[in-house]
Amino acid sequence: MKIGLMELVVVFLVALVVIGPDKLPGYARKLGVALREFRKASADITKEVRENVVEPLEEAQRPLREAVEPLEELDREVRGDLKGLEKDLKGIGKTKARPAERAPAPEPAQDAPAGEPVEGSSEPGEPEIKMSEDTGGENR
């Protein structure tokens, strides 16, 4: 909390009215001494806390940090390798085949010469078997 110039003026005027002009310098001196003692006590407490709590914790953390350091380095390397692998895997499906590398188109059907297999049969000389429409699908 910061006190501005206007607030200080108001406090000074109220103190002047309440305490009076004769006693105000004595009270101001006492207030200054009290503030100095408060700052000194807070500095001492801060120093003790730093010496008794903060520094021992930092000393206890130092070996742990040294032990974790190689693990963090390994973690960075593995993450870098994973990013590279991910990039490589994403690139696999995105490459387009050149027209010469595409699969050849199926060849058109060739006409069978005379005496060769009859349409619908797989062997030469086999007669074609047709289903009769009027007999309900029976063979002739």
Domain boundaries, the chain: 15-92
Q: Check residue 88 and give its pLDDT.
A: 83
Gap between the Cα atoms of 28 and 36, Å rounded = 12
The DSSP secondary structure of 27-64, one letter per residue, reads HHHHHHHHHHHHHHHHHHHHHHHIIIIIHHHHHHHHHH
Q: Is-contact 117 126, C-beta < 8 A?
A: yes
Query: pLDDT tier at 140 (50, 70, 90 boundaries)?
Result: very low
Q: What is the average pLDDT score of the chain?
A: 78
Under a CB-based contact definition with an 8 Å cutoff, are residues 112 and 124 in contact?
Answer: no
* Cβ(134)–Cβ(140) below 8 Å: no
Give the whole-angstrom CA distance, residue 48 versus residue 61: 19
Q: What pLDDT digit, counting tens, does each position of 18-37 carry?
A: 988 899 899 989 999 999 99
Cα–Cα dist 129/140, whole Å: 8
pLDDT at 2 (0 to 100): 83
The pLDDT-based confidence of 72 (bands split at 50, 70, 90) is: very high
pLDDT for position 3: 81
> Is residue 122 predicted with pLDDT exceeding 60?
no
Mean pLDDT, rounded, for 2-6 = 87
